[in-house]
Structure 1
Amino acid sequence: MTVDTTPLAPIAERAAAPATLTLPTAGGPTWRAATRDDAPVWLALRNHIARADAEPYVENLEEIEEIFEGAWRDMASDSLLGFDADGALVAWAQVECPPGDVTQVRAFCWGGVHPDRRGEGIGRELLAWESGRARQLLAASGKEVPARIGVFAEDDGPASRHRLYERAGFQVRRYYSDLARPLGGTSSGPVPDVPLTGSLRLVPWSADLDEAARLAHNDAFRDHWGSQPQTREQWAQRVCFAPEWSFLVVDAAPDVDALLASPDTDAETAAALRAGEPLVVGYELASRYTEDFAVRGYSFGYTDILGARRAYRGRKAALAALAAGMRAFAADGMQFAVLDVDTANPSGAHGLYASLGYTKTSGSRMFSIEL
């Protein structure tokens, strides 16, 4: 494989940020930034679009209100709502640049147009506004690393949306699969028992171990495509988090000296080890998306994130946590266990899930412009 060693131009140059942003004029909506008071009507439009496009999920009010949290977000500059002459919300946009990005700086664009107002050019102009704002955020980051502007779409979503992204210069970069596994009957067999060896211990999630879980996640996903570290504030934003369905694996007697000597141990983990903090080495954090039960036609527990520290791979820490989560879903009467996976996951997770009885129910993709 040939590695491109061409030096990067400064981020301000690569981003080519516009000095000012042009508001959409197509279709005639009146535009302004989103406020917390808009959350109910914004939710209604987002869910109307989701149902019209047969997306496998809807959102709840708490999820929308959470968007207004986070010091890294400036909704006055990073959002746009379009209202028709009668005051009805017909389109929306939001752009976000995650604060924890280190080796790549990313800006994600989100938006939608009411199905009755499609075909008027609103979506095209709205995407242009989003892309312009994304370039402004990337330039302002000052991070001299590769950059990305990303958007997401369901595989089975409107083909017009895919074409919109492609015509705007976005290319498909990654595919994701939504997987489900029945928890009752005999079709997938029992949830496996996963014994842990040595000083590894499976424990329920607890608030006092949450920071250690964040550090484990940042280590586990360091070699995953498109992943960047999460700050404490990012990590804390889990509106639908289900602690009763979440499990951790800790090393009760880690070899601190060996870990500190390893070049793979990050600075935050090293500081925690020196301070005698607990070491989480595997985790399964789950969420409860009750509103989606009717959309999917069954109840389920959702594994949001799953992983194991790289130094502990092969010791079944993630599998033990996942199995514990699946048993907790079943104990609460959930019919399925559900999760989402990158189809090119470097840890071989897709094959693991297939061996556990998970099968694909839907898919999505990420389009991006690489800078």
Structure 2
Amino acid sequence: MPQLVPAVPAGYRVRPATADDISTIHHLVSACERALYGREQTDPGGITAVLARPGLVPELDTLLIHDPAGRLAARAWVNRRSEVDVHPRHRGRGLGAALLDWAEVRARQAGSEQIVQTVPDDDTEAVALLRSRGYEPMVTEWLLEFAMPDEPAVPEPPAGITVRPFLPGDGQSAYQLIEDAFDEWQQRRESFQEWAQHTIERPTFAPAMSALAFEGGQLVGAALSLDLPEAGEGYIEQIAVRRDHRNRGVARLLLRHAFRAFHRQGRRACTLGTHSDTGALALYLRVGMKVRHSSTVYRKSLCKP
């Protein structure tokens, strides 16, 4: 099946992405983040994990647009979800609209009934484009931060709970715990390999800053962390507590252990992301985190002609 090719301005070239493009894509996404937030918050491991998503065929489901000088100007991928990024220098030339059109056509071709895309609320031009194309808001996402000018205090654990860092061999039990916890709101369970590519196999995974909680030798909570040196801060990639141990302060305990570990490594801020379906925002605010910025997940039905 040949790849769909959108119409782009004269001089721009279009091709699918490959593993050799990960660094270049990362630089593009980082440039977009710096323009919007004044800092970058992505890492190449996240892009690597996207290209390895089950069912994603890079030759059909990814697209790069290079400018006449050969520099990456925009990129997109679609596989149940979609992402579109246009370099700040190349905005206003129709590249985002062209990639959005391509993503919708490709999603229909692949048999998807809807397409979903997350857009920062501060990116008003992208929001306006999506709304003009019939996208409707579905979920709110927040990036929260915990500032650490001083070493964070760690509370006493609940009775019977012990905490230690992530060790080799903990992957399978952490995966099972997190997937069971996320079943409450996620649409599908990830395979172990897909989950690992987004967490413990990423180059930025920080086992020493990842905290696990146990009771009687059983894993009851996990906070898995990434160390993002380019951003100069830590990031909690996933946190989960077994259902029968919630409302005991385990999540707060795990977060504080992770915060302290990052502080001792010289990081002065730690972030994490959550969304409105999880109902966890109030917990993070009580721990002392603050919203850095918000995004909205937009959805468009592809069943209509």
Amino acid of the residue matched to residue 323 of structure 1? R
1:367 maps to 2:298:
yes
Unaligned residue ranges in structure 2 (runs of 5+): none
* Separation (CA, whole Å) in 2 of partners of 1:22 and 1:153: 24
1:271-314 CA deviation, whole Å, 9 max, x = no partner? xxxxxxxx422111111111113xxxxxx321111111222222
* Separation (CA, whole Å) in 2 of partners of 1:304 and 1:227: 18
Q: CA deviation at 1:63?
A: 4.2
From 277, 281, 285, give the equivalent of 1:350. Answer: 281
1:80-107 CA deviation, whole Å, 9 max, x = no partner? 11223333322211123xxxxxxxxxx1
Of 37-46 and 361-370, the range deviating more from structure 2: 37-46
In angstroms, what is the RMSD of aligned CA positions?
A: 2.6
Q: Which residue of 2 aligns with 1:265?
A: none
Q: CA deviation at 1:232?
A: 0.7
Unaligned residue ranges in structure 1 (runs of 5+): 1-18, 97-106, 140-146, 254-278, 294-299
Q: Which residue of 2 aligns with 1:327?
A: 260
Task: Give the fraction of aligned pairs with identical amino acids, expressed as a percent.
Answer: 26
Q: 2:252, 2:287 within 8 Å by CA — same for their partners in 1?
A: no
Q: 1:91, 1:112 within 8 Å by CA — same for their partners in 2?
A: yes
Q: Which residue of 1 aligns with 2:219?
A: 280
Q: 2:154, 2:257 within 8 Å by CA — same for their partners in 1?
A: no
1:13-54 CA deviation, whole Å, 9 max, x = no partner? xxxxxx986421131322111122333333333322332333
Q: Which residue of 2 aligns with 1:121?
A: 94
* Separation (CA, whole Å) in 1 of partners of 2:44 and 2:284: 31
From 188, 191, 213, give the equivalent of 1:228. Answer: 188
Amino acid of the residue matched to residue 194 of structure 2? Q
1:115-166 CA deviation, whole Å, 9 max, x = no partner? 3332232211211111222233444xxxxxxx64211111212x11001111
Equivalent positions of 1:105-254 (< 5 A) are: 107-139=80-112, 148-157=114-123, 159-185=124-150, 190-198=152-160, 200-224=161-185, 226=186, 228-237=188-197, 238=199, 239=202, 240-252=204-216
Structure (1 or 2) with the larger CA radius of gyration? 1
Q: 1:26, 1:122 within 8 Å by CA — same for their partners in 2?
A: yes
1:24 maps to 2:12:
no
Amino acid of the residue matched to residue 118 of structure 2? F
Corresponding pairs, count: 297
1:39–1:174 CA distance, 2 compared to 1 (3 A):
same
1:164–1:357 CA distance, 2 compared to 1 (3 A):
same
What TM-score, normalized to structure 1? 0.72
Q: CA deviation at 1:233?
A: 1.1
* Separation (CA, whole Å) in 2 of partners of 1:252 and 1:137: 47
1:151–1:215 CA distance, 2 compared to 1 (3 A):
same
1:310 maps to 2:243:
yes
Amino acid of the residue matched to residue 174 of structure 1? V
Q: CA deviation at 1:361?
A: 1.6
